[in-house]
Amino acid sequence: MIPTPRLLWLGVLLAASALPLAYNSALFVPWLILPAALLLLTVFDWLSVRNIKLAGTRSIRNVLSHGQWNDVGLNISNTSKKNVNLMVHDLHPQLCQVRGLPRKLSLPARETTRINYESMAKVRGQMNFTGIDTQVSTVLGLWYRQSVLPCKSSVKVYPNFKNSKLFGLLLSKRNLDNMGVRRLPRPGEGSDFHQLREYREGDSLRQIDWKATARMQKLIAREYAQERDQQIVFLLDCSMRMRHQDERSSHMDDTLNAVVLLSHVALQQGDATGIMTFGGVDRWIPPAKGMRAARRLMDGLYDLEATRELPDYVQAVEALAVRLRRRALVILITNLRNEDGQSALRALQRLKGKHLVLMADLRESDLDAAIKSEPTNTEEALLWLSAENYRLERVRQHKLATASGAKLIDVAPRDLSADLITRYLAIKRLGQL
């Protein structure tokens, strides 16, 4: 039991009422009535909530979206025979922001009420709600009883896929254009016939099977084996190079969004997708197809965070070579530094002997801002010069990577999704894999 400010003020008033006793001691016996009355009131009030019993449950989805408000419900039951006034607050994870709490309510005897509030997770990963905190006020409001109702919930916070409604329409030219994705014209078709399917926008007229079209009364196209049953493997850097935080989001958040979006496109194309991480986090999800593969990929990615370790590109490539036997499109996503150049080049040369390699090198927004700025003093001029020297060295490293046989994207994290999908579709249509 915890005293309320009301009880503390009554104690102050009682002490103030004792001041006249310093001038007239005859008032002492009558004055004793005041502390005796206050004592009786406090004891009575303390006993008023002795038999109050509460129970609580929480209603929350198993999967929440990072950075989005999600609905949470609390069911509070008063199993005792007395009405209670209480304050309710959910013991949510520290890295969650809530609105709608704490909540004051009056709960009749033998009744249950529901409290709805909203929670927003600031980070991805596993989060635990440990209980429901309640503060029951006494009849006179001199005390309140604080207790935690046992109610544990474990949820997964996934990357924010608020644009998931576009997933089923990603192959539509209109929606791809809205995302900044460009479809490239297709110069030719594969050599091995795979199946007949409905004509899709962007298909070559040479693919149309006119006999099947006449029979089905709609355009039917031939699909060739080179379009399907290929492997897309992400080689994801989780080292300290990926710890950079822009104003909008982190490099890792933008990367995971891009990986999931491209995986969805690849799975719709009939390709298998997988991922391997390095740089302090060692995860391997073998390439697979279908919706189960999409769910497994999501479950393996949602809690990834950048570490404080340095990347070892050569070791990562050697580990991938052991795990990945079949030729694949290997997409290396990293934030390359000048001191990493030689290691990354050796890794790319090791990969290109068997696989088609695409490296996405994330470009920090601070670099763009520094280069675009116009110096007005010596300090700003030195900053601009340092940024320009870094950019030139970055360009040199990219030329070496391209000369080694790798395809390269120099991209800001916010544009990674659109650029990766564009490049993937180009590789598919050119039959390069």
* CB-neighbour burial class of residue 136 (10 A; exposed 0-12, middle 13-18, buried 19+): buried
Pairing of strands 143-158, 63-65: parallel
Pure H helices in 269-312: 291-301
Asked if residues 38 and 7 have their Cβ atoms less than 8 Å apart, the reply is: no
Question: Model's pTM, two decimal places?
Answer: 0.71
Least confident of 91-100, 113-122, 126-135, 159-168: 159-168
What is the reported pLDDT for 273?
93
Banded pLDDT at 388 (limits 50, 70, 90) = confident
In the predicted structure, residue 164 carries a pLDDT above the cut 90: no
- Of the listed ranges 60-64, 162-166, 174-178, 379-383, the least confidently predicted one is 162-166
* Contact (Cβ atoms closer than 8 angstroms) between residue 190 and residue 230: no
Selected from 3.30.360.10, 3.40.50.10440, 2.102.10.10, 3.40.50.410, the CATH number assigned to the domain covering 164-188+228-430 reads 3.40.50.410
CA 344 to chain centre: 28
Give me the mean pLDDT over the 58-74 stretch.
Answer: 90
**For position 302, what pLDDT does the model report?**
87
SS3 label, residue 114: strand
CATH topology for 1-158? Immunoglobulin-like (2.60.40)
Residue 194's pLDDT is: 65
Which pLDDT belongs to residue 178?
Answer: 52
| For the chain, domain boundaries | 1-158, 164-188+228-430
Find the mean pLDDT for residues 234-255: 85
- Residue 70 — φ and ψ, nearest 5°? -125, 140
Same fold, 1-158 and 164-188+228-430: no
pLDDT over 60 (residue 424): yes
For residue 318, the surrounding DSSP H or E stretch is: helix 313-323
Query: Average pLDDT in the 209-231 region?
Result: 79
Rounded average pLDDT over 307-316? 91
Can you tell me the mean pLDDT for 221-240? 80
- CA–CA gap between residue 255 and residue 239 (Å, rounded): 13
Percent above pLDDT 90 for the chain: 27
